[in-house]
Structure 1
Amino acid sequence: MARTLFFFIVLTVGVGMQVKGQDVSTPKSYDFAISSESQLSLLKLKETHVYNLHSYNKILKMHLKKIKLAIRYSENLLKSSTLFQYNLFFGFKVLRHIYKAWPLYLTLLTKELGTKETSAFQDLLEQQPTSVDFEESLGAIHRLQTVYDLDSYAMAEGILAGKNYNIKNWGVDECLILGLMYQYIKNYNQSENWFQLALYYYEDHPNPEELEIKIWKYTNLLELLVEANKGLGRYLEAKKYANELLTLFPNQTYMLKQLPKLKYLHENPIKLKKPKKEYKLQKAICSKRYRRKSGNLLCRYVNWTPFLQLAPLKMEELSIETHISIVHDFIGQKDIEILKNVSRPKLQRHENLSWNCSCKIGNLSSSSHDIVAKINRLILDVTGFPMKGNEKLEVINYGLAGNYNLDDTAKSKHQNHANALIFLSNVERGGEIVFPSRHLKVRARKGSMLVWENVKGRVIYHQCPILKGNMWVANKVLN
């Protein structure tokens, strides 16, 4: 297990240590995992990276062309070497070639290539995801797979909730990394699944020589499968992989020591600890199906202010016991885009929020832009809640497995009477707002506003992690 842990540290911590002497001003995180907007800059970084590699490739090809010309010219002279002692003209040609061309060939061999591209690459490395970004992305995948019971094979093939998104499959690298993560947290069921997939993709790889440049080999996968099956109590299966490894490397000391241990464990099995159940509350809330209640719930038009009489809005009641309703078409597409553009420069990570939050938040005020003042006035018209000087509006953008929840074990002490949540985008999978005590789940509907009253002293709503989509919302605390 020590070898596995070391291997995991090399692959994760090493991500943030590739730039020797990295500037101390480099941030701890670029927030690539917690905001889709931040991920856009990551894609632009990748485009620059590809362009730089193409440029370097072009330089190498031009240089190789010169080398090949030198080889061809020298070989042609060598083929005609029998003429040297009899032919004055040819003899002079060879002498001239050696005297004049060989120094040029030395220059070719010692020329420093792609200095501009190398410098650009160094700059790119300093902008790459940090170890924090990488760890947060791993945590996001872990949360999604756990909360939604996602099948490892389906994930690797680009299938979510039964829908094939026709994306390029994950390969050996992704499966190996996820297997290492689960191995590290002692979730051996999942680690064994991911290692099996890594082995499958390794054996099915069309260009095995590409894998030779990796820091791991086929034998590493076999060793990891030994550890995973040992963690599951499948000692005979672990022994099978150990023997396969020893057929390749008969003198591998570590695995030779493992065989008698596996034999003993098979004959004297120990009681294994069950893996810790994580995200229990989210899983219970988000995997449950909620049926819409009928009966006394109403749909009506909101027209109780002069402005709303001119442009009434449709309000649908979702719950009466605790007032929850949704106002349809609350904000139009043009205003949505203006609000998102205004908030983009202000989006930032909030360190004081729960660990169970994967988003960036931009705090706006009515004085910062007319669109904020306009939305605040409209919220006041619709809800009737007095603002009491509160002109703040939170605009939230989510990332991988994005959500905005309090800690599952925490109790919230609400100081606000109600909340208004405006959906600024649709979400293809996940991201629902759930009110467990009311057996109610609400999907994001672009342009609509969800309004609810808070029950003092406890959390009455949760948000499910986003499986697919770029989710934006605006949140307004109503006093």
Structure 2
Amino acid sequence: MVNLRFLLLILTPFFGLQIKAEFKTWPDPYNVAISSERQLSLLKLKERQVNNLYNYREELKSHLKHVQLAVKHSRELLKSASHYPNNLLIGFKLIRHLRNDWPQYLKFMNTKLGTEEIAFSQEQLSTLPTSEDFIDALTAIYKLQTIYDLDAADMASGILDGKQYNVKNWGTDECLILGLMYQTVKLYDKSEYWLQLALFYYSEYSHQKQLDVTLWKYHNILESIVEAYKGMGNYIDAKQYALEILAIQPNHTYMLSQIPKLDYLEKNPANITEVEKDFQRQKRLCTKSYMKRLANLYCYYESWSPFLRLAPIKVEELSEEIYLNIFPDFISQKEIDVLKNAAKTNLQRVEDLSWNCSCMVAELSGSSNNVIHNINRRIMDITGMRIDKNDMLQVINYGMAGNYNPDDTEKSENVHKGNVLIFLSNAEHGGETVFDSLELKVKPIKGSMLIWANSQDIVLHHQCPLLKGNMWLASKKLN
């Protein structure tokens, strides 16, 4: 996986980001990209910022109103004085106005505006998403677009995997950043597509001057498109955009140096090395068509233990090859709420797992929570496996492109007897669990529990990235 941290160094001249050379000194992330629950705090932050900006605008408007009245009064007096230059009354009024009003206007002009709002915004800087959060978000978009073959134009207009969502279109800013990201990982075709979208949205934007606030200009997009075409080996189009930049800025030193290079490359094309693409295994697993459930698999009620004889539980078999069952309505809404509330204050970023895990995890103990204790007891009654030595339950909240695959390897050193997944929510789009060797994909259904046994070797499973939704899940390994 290419390290996207390098992208932040590229973005510095465009967006004025304050980047430290030593990445270890960066502030800890707020994890808003890897946890949908944490993203809720962004909405509250955004609301406070918008209200603060509104208050700042109102103070400026009030001040401007007084300025406009002063201008109107001064212009009317100037007009009268011009028409009646020797009029005693006008002369006195003019002297009084210049002697008394203009010093007040100067004080008015020197007034510091929006000091409270500016101070508030300064305080809020420490609560904004960090560079690491930004990298998490970029990686999520990269992952989703690669795995699900998402079209850039569809994504920008709110379409994910063929489904339209009622969201406002992305603009030039978002498209430019993604174009630069793909340029960083040397996927120049995708980079060019995003950059062309950025150019399109720029030309369609009715208030183009407003975009200057972001510290980049029209020619910055063109510069990036030149690099994208050059990376693709399309030197003719690269030269065309380079010439367009020179028409805007004739003394653009870098583009002046590029013209002869592009002419040379056009006659002597460079060998374009195919870049090794990331997420290809996940792409194969998550976009593959899986067979429907076999007709000879069936449902029944489990009642072999004393507890289950009192409260039988419905079971659906999912495989003939191994013990792989799903238990609908295993957990109640009340129990779900208890688990989620207990987890919210304990969610942690899992640093020692691969970059393939995009979520936050809370480790909850059955000895300190009756609901977890009861869930452990029900699992023990259903499986017949003793779990006294492992009363922990992992509660997981997924973020952008969220998935959790700590065992997503060809071999595992920690073979355990079985796995349990308890779905604490539905997933609006994505988030399925795939058993590739069994040709099976399981969709998250709130309240259900999925159990499978590892007879000899670990049964490899993979969770596909979440496209949309706030997905929660509880996980447990049976030893």
TM-score by length of 2: 0.93
Query: How many residues matched?
Result: 469
Q: CA deviation at 1:104?
A: 1.5
Per mean C-alpha deviation after superposition, the further-off stretch among 399-408 and 188-197 is 399-408
Provide the secondary structure at the position in 2 that maps to 1:367. helix
Matched with 2:301 is 301
Identity of aligned residues (%): 52
Provide the secondary structure at the position in 2 that maps to 1:319. coil
Amino acid in structure 1 at the alignment position of 2:451: V
Matched with 1:21 is none
Q: CA deviation at 1:91?
A: 3.1
Q: CA deviation at 1:150?
A: 0.8
Matched with 1:444 is 444
Q: Within 5 A, what are the aligned runs for 1:57-456?
A: 57-82=57-82, 86-294=86-294, 296-406=296-406, 411-454=411-454
Matched with 1:20 is none
Work out the CA distance in 2 between the residues paired with 1:201 and 1:58: 30
* Shift in CA distance, 153/270, structure 1 to aligned 2, threshold 3 Å: same
Q: CA deviation at 1:126?
A: 1.1
Contact 2:15–2:215 under 8 Å retained in 1: no
Q: Within 5 A, what are the aligned runs for 1:24-43?
A: 27-43=27-43
Q: CA deviation at 1:99?
A: 2.4
* Shift in CA distance, 340/304, structure 1 to aligned 2, threshold 3 Å: same
Q: CA deviation at 1:294?
A: 1.3
Give yes or no for the alignment of 1:467 onto 2:467. yes
Structure 1 residues 73-120: Cα deviation after superposition (integer angstroms, max 9, x where no partner):
111211121577644443333332222222211111111111111111
Contact 2:401–2:467 under 8 Å retained in 1: yes
* Shift in CA distance, 5/301, structure 1 to aligned 2, threshold 3 Å: closer
Work out the CA distance in 1 between the residues paired with 2:9 and 2:242: 19
Where structure 2 has 5 or more consecutive residues not aligned to the other structure, the ranges are 1-6
Provide the secondary structure at the position in 2 that maps to 1:213. helix
Provide the secondary structure at the position in 1 that maps to 2:112. coil
Work out the CA distance in 2 between the residues paired with 1:15 and 1:321: 55
Work out the CA distance in 2 between the residues paired with 1:96 and 1:12: 50
Contact 1:55–1:117 under 8 Å retained in 2: yes
Contact 2:55–2:117 under 8 Å retained in 1: yes
Q: CA deviation at 1:219?
A: 1.5
Amino acid in structure 1 at the alignment position of 2:97: H
Structure 1 residues 189-232: Cα deviation after superposition (integer angstroms, max 9, x where no partner):
11011011111111111222222333222222222111111111
Per mean C-alpha deviation after superposition, the further-off stretch among 181-190 and 457-466 is 457-466
Where structure 1 has 5 or more consecutive residues not aligned to the other structure, the ranges are 18-23
Structure 1 residues 368-405: Cα deviation after superposition (integer angstroms, max 9, x where no partner):
22221221122222222111321111100000100011
Q: CA deviation at 1:6?
A: 5.8
Per mean C-alpha deviation after superposition, the further-off stretch among 157-166 and 458-467 is 458-467
Work out the CA distance in 2 between the residues paired with 1:349 and 1:383: 31
Q: CA deviation at 1:322?
A: 2.5
* Shift in CA distance, 250/12, structure 1 to aligned 2, threshold 3 Å: closer
Amino acid in structure 2 at the alignment position of 1:138: L
Provide the secondary structure at the position in 2 that maps to 1:211. helix
* Shift in CA distance, 99/457, structure 1 to aligned 2, threshold 3 Å: farther
Contact 1:423–1:446 under 8 Å retained in 2: yes
Per mean C-alpha deviation after superposition, the further-off stretch among 171-180 and 264-273 is 264-273
* Shift in CA distance, 429/73, structure 1 to aligned 2, threshold 3 Å: same
The two structures, once aligned, show a CA RMSD in angstroms of 2.1
Work out the CA distance in 1 between the residues paired with 2:279 and 2:407: 10
Q: CA deviation at 1:233?
A: 0.9
Q: CA deviation at 1:458?
A: 4.9
Work out the CA distance in 1 between the residues paired with 2:287 and 2:49: 40
Work out the CA distance in 1 between the residues paired with 2:8 and 2:432: 36
Structure 1 residues 141-175: Cα deviation after superposition (integer angstroms, max 9, x where no partner):
00111111111111111111111112111110000
Matched with 2:11 is 8
Provide the secondary structure at the position in 1 that maps to 2:201. helix
* Shift in CA distance, 245/82, structure 1 to aligned 2, threshold 3 Å: closer
Amino acid in structure 1 at the alignment position of 2:388: K
Q: CA deviation at 1:11?
A: 4.9
Contact 1:414–1:457 under 8 Å retained in 2: no
Work out the CA distance in 2 between the residues paired with 1:246 and 1:256: 7
Contact 1:8–1:181 under 8 Å retained in 2: no
Contact 1:308–1:381 under 8 Å retained in 2: yes
Work out the CA distance in 2 between the residues paired with 1:375 and 1:351: 28
Work out the CA distance in 1 between the residues paired with 2:32 and 2:188: 28
Per mean C-alpha deviation after superposition, the further-off stretch among 89-98 and 389-398 is 89-98
Work out the CA distance in 2 between the residues paired with 1:94 and 1:454: 96
* Shift in CA distance, 40/477, structure 1 to aligned 2, threshold 3 Å: same
Work out the CA distance in 1 between the residues paired with 2:188 and 2:282: 22
Matched with 1:47 is 47
